[in-house]
Amino acid sequence: MNGGPGAGASASKLASWIGPSRTALLIVDTQVDFASPTGAVGLAGADLGDVAAALAAASRLAEAARGAGVSVVFVHLETRDETDSAAWAERIHRRGGLPGKALALCRAGTPGADFCGPRPAEGDLAIAKSRYSAFFGTALDASLKGRGVDTLVVCGLTTDCCVDCTVRDAFHLDYHVILAPDACAAYDSRLHGAALQSLETNFAILASADDIIAAWGMLKRMHR
């Protein structure tokens, strides 16, 4: 069951941290190949048991963010021949896997790369990446800073991989990071919990989707 260590932050405290002018909701890799039973990971036999609830929570966060005037950013994996990593492929080979199959995840132009669950709406920003971190080799940092954003609310897939790498890089780039554990998921609940514990200890504040939504609701009512 998804969740995580730590009590998290209350809605009233969050309201002072995640004002619309300074905050972006960052949704990571909610795509068919990672989230759907018909996608590559599901067809390979991964346990998707926690994914649907995380996607539902991420969708609620996106709706609340838009309603509060918070920037919504979808970062999605998009692999291509010209951006494939030789080191990534070799690591898979050394572990006894088939590099071609693994690197074919979320191939540009294929159904596996499509969004699953929450998806961009008019006014949202969508940024493609070719590695785990949303910041590596992308214009994300420049786009956020161009909007005056210094705070990120992060959710998506998977907690122990792309979410983890993104949160660490965000902190190293001096963003304040709020992580919604119930709007994230992994294919192994132990990895989900361990990743949350590490991120909470060193890089982020944990807060439930409901508390984040409540905080944005409070701010919206205050500015009516």
Active centre residues (catalytic) = 29, 129, 162
What is the Cα–Cα distance from 106 to 113, expressed in whole angstroms?
4
Burial of 89 from C-beta contacts in 10 A (0-12 / 13-18 / 19+): middle
CB within 8 Å of 49: residues ≥ 6 apart: none
DSSP character at residue 30: -
Nearest to 160 by CA among 202, 117, 192: 192
Q: What is the DSSP string of 135-202?
A: STTSSHHHHHHHTT--EEEEEEE-TTTHHHHHHHHHHHTT-EEEEEEEEEE-SSHHHHHHHHHHHHHH
DSSP character at residue 72: E
* Partner residues linked to 115 by β-bridges: 31
